[in-house]
Amino acid sequence: MPIAAATKNPFALRAAAVLRASFVVAALAACGCEHPVPLSAFARAELHVFSWATLEDGADGPVHIDLWLRATSGCPTLASGTYPLLDGEPLSVVSWGENNNTFLAGGCASASFTTMRPASSLGPLHDTRFEMSDETHRIVVVVHGLLAHRTLTPRQARQPLTPGQTLVFDWSPADDAFDLEPQIAFNPMVNEYYEPEVQRMGTVIQLTVPDDIPDGPTHLQLSFFPSSPVTECTGVTTCSDGVAWNEGVSTVIAR
């Protein structure tokens, strides 16, 4: 049976986050900002880094890297010009952080930064280093496995597929671990999703095409959440991270 789009669409959360971010950026343009403060004002902040990719049919695409620096009290605005470095290269600023007194009910916007890398340019699992500093303070965060060249290789032809057919995919790198089990669904129509039976054996993913999926073109959506432990966190109170790797496969169901 089809499953609810709101709960099973692997890309729904990301789309909602992008839409929410658009509202935040628009709202911040209308708000008043506090006086900029040095990096030492964020010494008790929480830092979060997140990398995500959405690739289609095995093609190359961008891997996005986002970084947020959230103060635990007040709504400080970081002095402009203090950029985090990712392995020595600066990220672009999204917001310096500020007090948002618009329709979003007086919330605080975190200092946030972003960049992109082509998926094909990423190497094996390694440590990614973020560093921010000014004359008052220094923040260093190291995350293992945040950026890596990840691939999902099918052992069978991409199409056509048959209801009840077993599909097998090999995930690379083979020494990846996962924080969550993969989220996988067939999407033949807008807001209609069919959830297959899925088994993961290490980095081998096996699934069964649902018996009740209709014939015709469909889109197989696969979302993975590899582990990326923080190995160093200095200059802030806490560090957290996440990785979301989404793969899309265009295919056809034929009985």
* Alpha carbon separation from 42 to 58, 100, 233 (Å, rounded): 41, 18, 14
* Alpha carbon separation from 237 to 43, 72, 130, 139, 141 (Å, rounded): 7, 9, 15, 10, 11
Q: What pLDDT is attached to residue 128? A: 97
CB 102 within 8 A of CB 23: no
Tokens 């620096």 -> residue: 69
> pTM (2 decimals)?
0.82
Task: Please choose, from the candidates 147, 18, 45, 38, the residue with its C-alpha nearest in 3D space to the C-alpha of residue 86.
Answer: 147
Average pLDDT, consecutive stretches of 10 residues, N- to C-terminus, the chain (255 residues)? 44 43 38 75 96 94 97 90 95 88 62 96 96 97 96 94 97 94 95 95 96 96 96 97 96 95
Q: What pLDDT is attached to residue 100? A: 64
Q: What pLDDT is attached to residue 98? A: 80
As given in the structure block, the two tokens for residue 193 are 């999703």
Q: What pLDDT is attached to residue 225? A: 97
Q: What pLDDT is attached to residue 106? A: 53
Task: Please choose, from the candidates 89, 137, 136, the residue with its C-alpha nearest in 3D space to the C-alpha of residue 113.
Answer: 89
Q: What pLDDT is attached to residue 227? A: 95
Q: What pLDDT is attached to residue 74? A: 83
For each of the domains in the chain, give its residue range(s) and CATH number, in order of start.
5-148+228-249 (no CATH), 151-224 (2.60.40)
Q: What pLDDT is attached to residue 159? A: 92
How many Cα atoms within 13 Å fall on the side-chain side of residue 46?
A: 10
Beta strand spans in 126-237 (E): 127-133, 138-144, 151-154, 166-172, 178-189, 192-194, 197-201, 204-208, 216-226, 230-234
Q: What pLDDT is attached to residue 22? A: 40
